[in-house]
């Protein structure tokens, strides 16, 4: 049962999760989420094998430990902590063992499991935004309660990764890759959140990550902890508090369009989101610092184009490919006479000029195009 209007609680956090979690969850009116004897699935963010939570790349085991204690006090039955790392991590269990999540969970008599091994529930042609076949861990459907424990981080593809994206760890490893490769990741994630509905979502912004998130960013030292029964509502509060507009965060934008949340209808308790607002450095801003000399016109472009373009240029630079001498132009604005035009909007704003189509164009396509066009000039009649 969800609270109407959706409620999101915010408390200042110094990382003392055992002390902070009970008042935070009381403020979020989540105390009755678990009934005695109910089984609980806790889904942290363990997307990569790292040996410390101090980088804010993965969920702090201390937070999960405090959550298990809180659930036990409410009479929870079986408790399982489960997540699947990004495609290719071998063995997947290393995401638990390296950071010490295994010991924290075991010391409390709970269990842990890497999601990678199934069983899976199959969804065939279930959404226009999904690959034809999507397999989601049966764990998402076989526990009485799901508690979603995400981090506040920036993200290369989605601008931010919070509670809604955190559910991607419940997918079959191949689908994780396909969500990125086929269609638009943000739309696929919104569809996933319409199928898997956590009972409680916690977003840890005690540290937070900015810049090259979700893995290689820098610690933001933000100092806040968020919780709510409605995952999309938590998303709608944390995102602007990170200084990210809804138009930049496509997962949230599409969730609003799908009617999953009305940001204006959310009740916030605890800290005032306007007062805690801190602008997180965008991934493309951090990447641009690595590309001295590159000329980019992108004031009228949205983040998805910026992210893909700068990511493509960074990957090319890392591979030893010289950056383009010509100015690279994205977004719906008139371009200079010799600009390389990337994306649907750049094409629409400069009619008759050659451009790379796509919305946003994919990273590999941008690399190919910039390499191919680097030596050439704009040709008015040579449309792709």
φ, ψ for residue 51 (rounded to 5)? Answer: -100, 5
Cα 84 to Cα 183: distance, rounded to the nearest angstrom: 22
Q: State in angstroms the smallest separation of the CB of 245 from ligand SF4.
A: 13
* 8 Å CB contact between 44 and 64: yes
Query: Does residue 305 interact with ligand SF4 by CB under 6 A?
Result: yes
User: Out of 304, 310, 312, 313, which residue is the one contacting ligand SF4 (CB under 6 A)?
Assistant: 304
Of residues 228 and 360, the one with the C-beta less far from ligand SF4 = 360
DSSP 88: T
Q: What torsion, rounded to 10 degrees, do the Cα atoms 112, 114, 118, 121 define?
A: 80
- The owner of tokens 């000039």 is 377
Residues 73-112 touching ligand SF4, rule: CB under 6 A, are none
Interaction between residue 360 and ligand SF4 (CB under 6 A): yes
- Please return the burial class of 351, using the count of CB atoms within 10 Å of its CB with bins 0-12, 13-18 and 19+: exposed
Shortest distance (Å) from residue 358 CB to ligand SF4:
7
Of residues 251 and 301, the one with the C-beta less far from ligand SF4: 301
With CA atoms as reference, report the closest residue to 55 among 242, 276, 221.
221
C-beta of 180 vs 344, nearer to ligand SF4: 344
Which residue in 152, 141, 59 sits closest to 100, CA to CA? 59
CB of 304 to ligand SF4, least distance (A): 4
Interface residue with ligand SF4 among 150, 244, 301, 363 (CB under 6 A) is 301
Specify burial of residue 204 (Cβ count, 10 A radius: 0-12, 13-18, 19+): buried
Q: Where are the alpha helices (DSSP H) in the chain?
A: 17-27, 61-73, 94-97, 101-106, 139-142, 163-166, 173-181, 185-195, 231-241, 250-257, 273-276, 283-288, 303-318, 344-349, 363-373
Nearer to ligand SF4, 8 or 287 (CB): 287
Minimum distance, C-beta of residue 255 to ligand SF4, in the bound complex (Å): 18
The residue length of the chain stands at: 384
Nearer to ligand SF4, 248 or 316 (CB): 248
Sort strands 120-124 and 133-137 into parallel, antiparallel or unpaired: antiparallel
Q: Determine if 40 is a binding residue for ligand SF4 (CB under 6 A).
A: no
Query: Is residue 359 part of the contact set for ligand SF4 (CB under 6 A)?
Result: yes
Cβ nearer to ligand SF4, comparing 177 with 333: 333
Minimum distance between the CB of residue 180 and ligand SF4, rounded to whole angstroms?
16
Among positions 314-353, residues that touch ligand SF4 (CB under 6 A) are 330-331, 343-345
Q: Which stretch binds ligand SF4 (CB under 6 A): 9-17, 28-36, 93-101, 299-307?
A: 299-307
For ligand SF4, the closer CB: 257 or 262: 257
Q: Which is nearer to ligand SF4, 8 or 301 (CB)?
A: 301
DSSP 113: E
Helix/strand/coil for 254:
helix
Q: Say which residues have a Cβ less than 8 Å from residue 297's Cβ, sequence separation at least 6.
A: 327, 328, 329, 330, 331, 333, 335, 336, 339
Please report how close the Cβ of residue 66 comes to ligand SF4 at its closest, in angstroms: 40
Q: Could you tell me which stretch among 207-215, 283-291, 297-305, 316-324 binds ligand SF4 (CB under 6 A)?
A: 297-305
Spatial contact of 30 and 71, defined as CB atoms under 8 Å apart:
no
Q: Report the residue number, 131 or 298, with the smaller CB distance to ligand SF4.
A: 298
Count interface residues toward ligand SF4 (CB under 6 A).
11
> What is the nearest approach in angstroms of ligand SF4 to the Cβ of residue 343?
3
Which residues here bind ligand SF4, judged by CB under 6 A? 301-302, 304-305, 330-331, 343-345, 359-360
């Amino acid at each position: 049962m969800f609270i109407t209007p959706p409620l999101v609680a915010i408390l200042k956090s110094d990382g003392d999760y055992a002390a902070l979690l009970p008042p935070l969850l009381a403020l979020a009116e989540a105390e009755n989420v678990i009934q005695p004897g109910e089984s609980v699935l806790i889904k942290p963010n363990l997307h990569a094998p790292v040996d410390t939570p101090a980088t804010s790349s993965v969920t702090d085991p201390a937070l999960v430990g405090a959550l298990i204690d809180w659930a036990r006090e409410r009479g929870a039955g079986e408790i399982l902590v489960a997540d699947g790392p990004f495609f290719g991590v071998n063995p997947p269990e290393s995401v638990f063992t390296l950071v010490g999540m295994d010991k924290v969970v075991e010391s409390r008599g709970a269990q842990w499991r890497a999601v990678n091994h199934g069983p899976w529930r199959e969804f065939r042609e279930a959404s226009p935004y999904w690959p034809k076949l999507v397999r989601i861990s049966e764990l998402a459907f076989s526990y009485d309660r799901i508690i979603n424990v995400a981090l506040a981080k920036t993200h290369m593809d989605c601008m931010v990764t919070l509670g809604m994206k955190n559910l991607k760890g419940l997918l079959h490893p191949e689908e994780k890759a396909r969500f990125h490769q086929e269609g638009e990741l943000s739309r696929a994630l919104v569809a996933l959140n319409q199928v898997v509905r956590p009972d409680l979502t916690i977003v840890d912004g005690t540290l937070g990550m900015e810049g090259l998130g979700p893995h290689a960013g820098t610690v933001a030292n933000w100092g806040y902890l968020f919780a709510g029964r409605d995952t999309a509502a938590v998303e709608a509060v944390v995102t602007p508090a990170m200084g990210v507009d809804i138009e930049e965060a496509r997962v949230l934008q599409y969730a609003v369009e799908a009617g999953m949340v009305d940001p204006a209808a959310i009740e916030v308790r605890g800290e005032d989101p306007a007062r805690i607002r801190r602008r997180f450095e965008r991934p493309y801003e951090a990447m641009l610092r690595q590309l001295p000399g590159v000329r980019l016109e992108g004031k009228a472009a949205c983040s998805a184009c910026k992210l893909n373009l700068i990511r493509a240029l960074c990957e090319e630079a890392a591979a030893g490919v010289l950056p383009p001498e010509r100015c690279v132009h994205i977004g719906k604005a008139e371009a200079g006479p010799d600009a390389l035009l990337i994306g649907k909007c750049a094409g629409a704003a400069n009619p008759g000029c050659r451009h790379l189509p796509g919305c946003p164009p994919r990273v590999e396509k941008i690399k190919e195009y910039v390499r191919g066009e680097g030596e050439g000039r704009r040709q008015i009649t040579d449309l792709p």
